[in-house]
Structure 1
Amino acid sequence: MDSITLQRIEKLHPSVRDEVKKIIAECDEALTGRAKVRITQGLRTFDEQNELYAQGRTKPGKKVTNAKGGQSIHNYGFAVDICLSIDGKTANWGTTKDWDNDKVADWYECVKIFARHGWDWGGNWKTFKDLPHFEKKNSNNKPYNWRELLQNKKDSSGYVIL
């Protein structure tokens, strides 16, 4: 696991940090070729979310999110976006390449590992597919509801109390 991924994990909600470390370690162990997992996004502030939301709307670029600040599970530290880091040098978001030649696309090896740990994959969403995105499901095995999280009290570090 690279240092950038570890830094991003340390900013996630405290309740998922160890689990995410375990998931990434399992992915890296399963990927025996040139690819390893890098977290490209974890916790995102409301301001950072609003900047992304403006993209393709009031700022140049293509739309990358339908969520305003407070409406993304990233804003609460329960979501990560990943890429495959090839030879520790090149970021790759392709879902079909089998870098370790085991007849299973590396991306889908990771999708299965996240799912085993109770994480929802944005690639399964019906309308706005978000292939790099994974988010933790709640104790009822459903995605967290941002409206509920927005109302929750926060601890002294600013994380929502579940």
Structure 2
Amino acid sequence: MDKITLQRIEKLHPVVRNEVMQIIKECDEALTGRAKIRITQGLRSFEEQEKLYAIGRITSGKKVTNAKAGQSIHNYGLAVDICLMIDGKTASWDTAKDWDNDKVADWYECVKIFAKHGWDWGGNWKTFKDLPHFEKKEIDTKKGPVKATWRTLLKMARDKNGYVII
């Protein structure tokens, strides 16, 4: 696991950090070729979200998100975006390439591992597919599972570090 991925995991919500470490470890073990996983985005501030939402609306460029500040699971540290790092040097978002020649695209090997851990993949969305995106939509708590929708998360109290109290 590379240093950048580790730094991004450390900023995720504490309830998912260990699970994300395990997912990335499993992905890296499954990918026996030249590709390894890098988290390109984890926790995102409301300010960062507003800037992304403005692209294609207020600023030039193609729209990159339909989520305003507070409407992205990234804003709560419960989502990650990934890429494949080829030979530790080149970022790739190629979902078809099979770098380890095991007859399964490396990207989909990772999609399966995230799914096994209960993470939703943006590639399964009906509209505005987001292939690099994975989010934890159900959090296990002492009181039972909690659906982690942005509407629910937005209303939750926060701890001293700014994380929603789950």
Q: Normalised by the size of structure 2, how large is the TM-score?
A: 0.95
For the residues of structure 2 that align with 1:40 and 1:146, how far apart are their CA atoms? 21
In structure 2, the residue matched to 1:153 is 157
Aligned residues between the structures: 162
1:93 partnered with 2:93: yes
Q: Secondary structure at the match of 1:127?
A: coil
Q: Secondary structure at the match of 2:120?
A: strand
- State whether residues 73 and 150 of structure 2, in contact with CA within 8 Å, keep that contact through their aligned partners in structure 1: yes
Q: Counterparts in 2 of 1:22-33, with a 5 A limit?
A: 22-33=22-33
Q: Normalised by the size of structure 1, how large is the TM-score?
A: 0.97
In structure 1, the residue matched to 2:129 is 129
For the residues of structure 2 that align with 1:129 and 1:25, how far apart are their CA atoms? 25
Q: Secondary structure at the match of 1:27?
A: helix
In structure 2, the residue matched to 1:8 is 8
Aligned-pair CA distance for 1:137? 2.2
Root-mean-square deviation over aligned CA pairs: 1.2
5+ long unaligned stretches in structure 1: none
5+ long unaligned stretches in structure 2: none
* Greater percentage in strand: 2
For the residues of structure 1 that align with 2:88 and 2:28, how far apart are their CA atoms? 12
Q: Secondary structure at the match of 1:131?
A: coil
For the residues of structure 2 that align with 1:142 and 1:4, how far apart are their CA atoms? 30
In structure 2, the residue matched to 1:144 is 148
Larger displacement relative to structure 2 (113-122 or 140-149): 140-149
Q: Percent identity?
A: 77
Amino acid at match of 1:54: A
For the residues of structure 1 that align with 2:148 and 2:54, how far apart are their CA atoms? 24
- State whether residues 37 and 84 of structure 2, in contact with CA within 8 Å, keep that contact through their aligned partners in structure 1: yes
For the residues of structure 2 that align with 1:126 and 1:142, how far apart are their CA atoms? 23
- State whether residues 121 and 131 of structure 1, in contact with CA within 8 Å, keep that contact through their aligned partners in structure 2: yes
Structure 1 residues 141 and 98, CA gap change in structure 2 (3 angstroms): farther
Amino acid at match of 2:148: Y
For the residues of structure 1 that align with 2:67 and 2:148, how far apart are their CA atoms? 14
For the residues of structure 1 that align with 2:160 and 2:8, how far apart are their CA atoms? 20
Q: Counterparts in 2 of 1:73-84, with a 5 A limit?
A: 73-84=73-84
